[in-house]
């Protein structure tokens, strides 16, 4: 048997190749022979060629519905040892909420991670944690851990994403300034490598694999189980929005808030460019503190910046929390008439985007193309970025929200594979656009993609030192530039853990070697 672990994968992307030698029926035959607890489907494969981005559709040969970790291990081992008789690749699919086919495998095998057993197990005590399968949705983890008065500390804005999917990227939301991204709140992982080995890894055991997999874009192994750090669950949330007309005042206040421990529990923000009737929409869930003044405020024709913050509380301590909030707000410089408040349960707050999903689905507006662009911008260049992008490139944001908020990188572990700009404070800027199918206008895919490219071109030209989050590139030079000094380590880890480049072909970083 040749020693395949010595192979170095080619790290360039070409259009997906059709296996020249092994016919589809041969592939099916060889996979069918594998003894599994779960099963392969060779017919129901179209669902695995779709994702939230709705722009890339690569049909696999088969979809594996694993019941056990050994199903995943046997499948990968089988493909690994088939060597040059196949060039099958394998993609783990969480909830398929990628944007550009990252969880797809052209003529390969897609593993439906959500069908993986076993169930979750919550460990209470002084340092509580939960063991979860890699295909578990964050909403289910919340609903399970909250029964014990516990919950994960760091979230994403939307909870219908899987643990394996977000840990392969980072998992960033309004708690990341305090707790770091989700990849910072993991004690241990169980991983199936590209050679089919099942390995446990943590800070103290197989640390190179552990840090490689966290933020590793699925390149080094499939996460079959994760041990997540827990903290106390909360009961209620005061959810607050205030507006600014000056970007620098807004960002100064955001940076001021994230600099202190004694602050809100969630800090985000978004940009509003020339939106009509926006504040009226908010009124369904937010109450203005000063209704008369708020009535006279109009967002039409303006660029506004909305600071969004939240404070968790126990209803028994309402007076105390109100005082804390008043003190925190008194330190800020927002437009006084634009203070909007809401009070919701902890679960409602964390699961807030799901409500929008239901509304959009009902109108047929969820399964449209989503040309999203997510960027990380260093604090020192955020004013230049805002001036050009919000003042010049974009004329409105009617295609979707634009999030913008700073995070404190001192809370982030820099040993993971995730790439960030080299500054202590960085801003996440997320252009979350939806395109109207077959429109050729300003709400069409082409227009939005062109606008995204203008933003990327500006970042390059102005040398902002920005990085893409949920990165997407089409050639090796761009990936190398993205990883910068971390590229060599990334390539070394690929050679060590997935030497034939079988895993996560949809990221288009490495091409399968035979
Ligand atoms: P998939 O799309 O299924 O997979 C993503 C990648 O991870 C693929 O390469 C796949 O092969 C790999 N992968 C999947 N499972 C595993 C596994 N078990 N082991 C190894 N690799 C695996 N991100 C944030 O950080 N913050 C947010 O607030 C946020 N909000 C979002 C809101 C919406 C509505 C959507 C659609 C996305 C949002 N995201 C956010 C982005 C999200 O984190 C990524 O798209 C993530 O990849 C989606 O998770 P998924 O489970 O659907 O993964």
pLDDT classification of 6: cutoffs 50, 70, 90: very low
Could you tell me if the CB of 103 is within 6 A of ligand 1? yes
Ligand 1, atom nearest to 161 Cα: 51
Q: Are residues 209 and 303 in the same domain?
A: no
Does residue 492 have a pLDDT over 50? yes
Average pLDDT, the chain: 92
The per-residue pLDDT for 5 is 39
Q: Please check whether residue 175 lies inside any domain of the structure.
A: yes
Q: Are residues 16 and 103 in the same domain?
A: yes
Could you tell me if the CB of 93 is within 6 A of ligand 1? yes
Q: What does DSSP assign to residue 404?
A: E
DSSP string, 17-54: PPPSSS-HHHHHHHHHTS--SSEEESSS-GGGG--TT-
Could you tell me if the CB of 212 is within 6 A of ligand 1? no
Q: Are residues 61 and 129 in the same domain?
A: no
Q: Are residues 83 and 39 in the same domain?
A: yes
Among candidates 390, 400, 280, which has minimal Cα distance to 340?
280
Does residue 12 have a pLDDT over 60? no
Q: Whose CA is nearest to atom 37 of ligand 1?
A: 97
Ligand 1, atom nearest to 469 Cα: 25
- Taking residues 23-43, report their average pLDDT: 88
Question: How much is the pTM?
Answer: 0.94
Q: Please check whether residue 452 lies inside any domain of the structure.
A: yes
Q: Are residues 305 and 247 in the same domain?
A: yes
Residue pair 62/69 in contact (Cβ under 8 Å)? The answer is: no
Beta-sheet strands, E only, within 279-372: 287-288, 303-313, 339-345
Does residue 13 have a pLDDT over 60? no
SS3 of 255, please?
helix
Say which residue, 16 or 429, is predicted with more confidence. Answer: 429
Could you tell me if the CB of 134 is within 6 A of ligand 1? yes
Q: Please check whether residue 480 lies inside any domain of the structure.
A: no
Domain boundary among 337, 363, 389: 363
The per-residue pLDDT for 55 is 96
The pLDDT tens digits of the residues spanning 102-118 come to 999 999 999 999 999 77
Q: What does DSSP assign to residue 391?
A: I
Does residue 20 have a pLDDT over 60? no
Could you tell me if the CB of 192 is within 6 A of ligand 1? no
Count Cβ neighbours within 10 Å for each residue of 54-63 and write b for 16 or more, e otherwise.
Answer: bebebebbbb
Does residue 292 have a pLDDT over 80? no
Q: What is the distance in A from the centroid of ligand 1 to the CA of 202? A: 21
SS3 of 511, please?
strand
Q: How many angstroms separate the CA atoms of 186 and 230, rounded?
A: 9
Residue pair 268/173 in contact (Cβ under 8 Å)? The answer is: yes
Q: Are residues 335 and 375 in the same domain?
A: no
Could you tell me if the CB of 170 is within 6 A of ligand 1? yes
Identify which of 47, 57, 72, 92 to mutate to test ligand 1's pocket (most ligand atoms within 8 A of the CB): 92
Q: Above pLDDT 90, what percent of the chain?
A: 83
Q: Are residues 314 and 215 in the same domain?
A: no
Q: Are residues 29 and 127 in the same domain?
A: no
Q: Are residues 107 and 138 in the same domain?
A: no
- Taking residues 5-15, report their average pLDDT: 41
Q: Are residues 248 and 359 in the same domain?
A: yes
Q: How many angstroms separate the CA atoms of 442 and 23, rounded?
A: 44
Q: 474: buried, middle or exposed (CB in 10 Å: 19+, 13-18, 0-12)?
A: exposed
Q: Please check whether residue 106 lies inside any domain of the structure.
A: yes
The pLDDT tens digits of the residues spanning 159-212 come to 999 999 999 999 999 999 999 999 999 999 999 999 999 999 999 999 999 999
The per-residue pLDDT for 256 is 98
Could you tell me if the CB of 52 is within 6 A of ligand 1? yes
Could you tell me if the CB of 152 is within 6 A of ligand 1? no
The per-residue pLDDT for 476 is 86
- CATH code, domain with 280: 3.40.462.10
Q: Please check whether residue 260 lies inside any domain of the structure.
A: yes
ipTM reported for the complex surpasses 0.90: yes
| Residue 76, φ and ψ in degrees, nearest 5 | -70, -40
Tally of domains within the chain: 4
Token duo for residue 52: 């939230």
Beta-sheet strands, E only, within 454-508: 467-469
pLDDT classification of 19: cutoffs 50, 70, 90: very low
The per-residue pLDDT for 514 is 65
The pLDDT tens digits of the residues spanning 459-473 come to 999 999 999 999 999
pLDDT classification of 23: cutoffs 50, 70, 90: low
Q: How many angstroms separate the CA atoms of 391 and 395, rounded?
A: 8
The pLDDT tens digits of the residues spanning 381-410 come to 999 999 999 999 998 888 999 999 999 998
Identify which of 71, 75, 103 to mutate to test ligand 1's pocket (most ligand atoms within 8 A of the CB): 103
Domain span at residue 54 reads 4-114+488-507
- Taking residues 352-376, report their average pLDDT: 96
Active site residues: 97, 157, 268
Q: Whose CA is nearest to atom 32 of ligand 1?
A: 158
Token duo for residue 367: 């399964």
Q: Whose CA is nearest to atom 33 of ligand 1?
A: 158
Ligand 1, atom nearest to 51 Cα: 2
Q: Please check whether residue 73 lies inside any domain of the structure.
A: yes
Q: Mean pLDDT: which of 1-5, 15-19, 29-33, 426-430 is highest?
A: 426-430
Number of H helices, E strands in the chain: 16, 19
């Amino acid at each position: 048997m040749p020693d395949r672990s010595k192979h170095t994968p080619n790290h360039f992307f070409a259009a997906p190749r059709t296996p020249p030698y092994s016919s589809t029926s041969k592939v099916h035959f060889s996979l069918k022979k594998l003894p599994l607890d779960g099963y392969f489907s060779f017919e129901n494969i179209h669902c695995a060629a779709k994702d939230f981005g709705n722009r890339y559709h690569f049909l696999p040969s088969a979809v594996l519905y694993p019941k056990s970790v050994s199903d995943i291990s046997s499948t990968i081992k089988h493909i690994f040892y088939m060597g040059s008789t196949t060039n099958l690749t394998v993609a783990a699919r969480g909830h398929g909420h990628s944007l550009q086919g990252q969880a797809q495998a052209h003529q390969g095998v897609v593993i439906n991670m959500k069908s993986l057993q076993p169930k979750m197990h919550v460990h209470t005590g002084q340092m509580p944690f939960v063991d979860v399968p890699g295909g578990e949705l964050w909403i289910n983890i919340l609903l399970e851990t909250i029964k014990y008065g516990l919950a994960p500390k760091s979230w994403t804005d939307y909870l219908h994403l899987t643990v394996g999917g977000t840990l392969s990227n980072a998992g960033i939301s309004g708690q990341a300034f305090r707790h770091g991204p989700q990849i910072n709140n993991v004690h241990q992982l169980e991983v199936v490598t590209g050679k089919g080995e099942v390995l446990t890894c943590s800070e103290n055991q197989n640390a190179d694999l552990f840090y490689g997999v966290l933020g590793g874009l699925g390149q080094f192994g499939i996460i079959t189980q994760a041990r997540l750090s827990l903290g106390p669950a909360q009961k209620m949330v005061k959810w607050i929005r205030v507006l600014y007309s000056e970007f620098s005042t807004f960002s100064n206040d955001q940076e001021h808030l994230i600099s202190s421990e004694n602050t809100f529990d969630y800090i985000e923000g978004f940009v509003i460019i020339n939106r009509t009737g926006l504040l009226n929409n908010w009124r369904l869930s937010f109450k203005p503190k000063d209704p008369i003044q708020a009535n006279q405020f109009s967002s039409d024709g303006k660029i506004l910046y909305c600071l969004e913050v939240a404070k968790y509380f126990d209803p028994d301590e309402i007076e105390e929390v109100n005082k804390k909030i008043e003190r925190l707000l008194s330190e800020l410089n927002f437009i006084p008439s634009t203070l909007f408040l809401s009070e919701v349960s902890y679960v409602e707050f964390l699961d807030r985007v799901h409500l929008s999903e239901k509304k959009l689905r009902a109108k047929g507006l969820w399964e449209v193309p989503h040309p999203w662009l997510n960027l990380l911008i260093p604090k020192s260049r955020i004013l230049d970025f805002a001036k050009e992008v919000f003042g010049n490139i974009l004329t409105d944001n009617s295609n979707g929200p634009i999030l913008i908020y700073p995070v404190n990188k001192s809370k982030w572990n820099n040993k993971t594979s995730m790439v960030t700009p080299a500054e202590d404070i960085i801003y996440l800027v997320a252009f979350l656009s939806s395109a109207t199918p077959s429109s050729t206008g300003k709400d069409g895919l082409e227009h939005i993609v062109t606008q995204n490219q203008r933003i990327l071109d500006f970042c390059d030209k102005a040398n902002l030192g920005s990085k893409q989050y949920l990165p997407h590139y089409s050639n090796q030079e761009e990936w190398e530039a993205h990883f910068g000094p971390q590229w060599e380590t990334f390539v070394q880890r690929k050679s060590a853990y997935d030497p034939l480049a079988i895993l996560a072909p949809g990221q288009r970083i490495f091409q399968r070697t035979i």
